[in-house]
Amino acid sequence: MDTAIEPETEQVVFVTEDGVPTGETGPKLASHHEHTRLHLAFSCYVLRRSDNALLITQRALHKKVWPGVWTNSVCGHPAPGEALEDAVRRRADYELGLPSLSDLHCVLPNYRYRTPPFQGIVENEFCPVFAAWTDAEPAPNPEEVGDWRWVTWIDYRELLNDVTANVSYWAKDQYSQLKGIEPFSGL
């Protein structure tokens, strides 16, 4: 599996309100602006098998979209024709240095959100949310990840509720739906 798609050639898949691909694609960076069209994405929460700690990451400060924002473990966009599960594994390997995730499964298949503008960018995504486990320590790619840490679900909730913390819109929005479902309801 190719773990790197060059940023200048990476494409997003445009979808209908129900998440069905329209057959159209667009360049990833050029497609994110103040009038971003609805496109397919994913979020994944990686838990450490030994203690169910959650891996959270801070996006690298030099990234063009959402720099320095703390968020869930890994997010991204599937390539045209790529299965979501394959995209999650590709990005976890590329961004986090975690080539093997176990028990990867979708926990919010119909999650969709649209952010308020952030530095001229609006996210508008049909974004299924996944959970997965690992026994490995991450070895993050500094082009993608500025910092990372393992946290308890309670510490994650506190971070999301801290008005001074620089946390992604989607992490806050997803939490309200995740907190009541497995595997998160028992953490």
* Catalytic (active-site) positions: 75, 125
95 is in an annotated binding site: yes
34 is in an annotated binding site: no
Task: Give the contacts of 5 (CB within 8 A, at least 6 positions apart).
Answer: 79
Residue type, 145: V
Report the alpha-carbon distance of residue 166 to residue 175 in Å, rounded: 15
Report the alpha-carbon distance of residue 140 to residue 170 in Å, rounded: 21
**Strand residues in the chain grouped as ranges (E):** 11-15, 21-27, 39-40, 42-48, 54-59, 70-71, 74-76, 102-108, 112-114, 124-126, 129-134, 145-151
85 is in an annotated binding site: no
At 95 the three-state DSSP class reads: helix
H helical segments located in 97-179: 153-161, 169-178
158 is in an annotated binding site: no
| DSSP line for 96-109 | HS----EEEEEEET
Annotated binding site: 32, 39, 77, 95, 123, 125
Annotated binding site for Mn(2+): 32, 39, 77, 123, 125
Annotated binding site for Mg(2+): 95
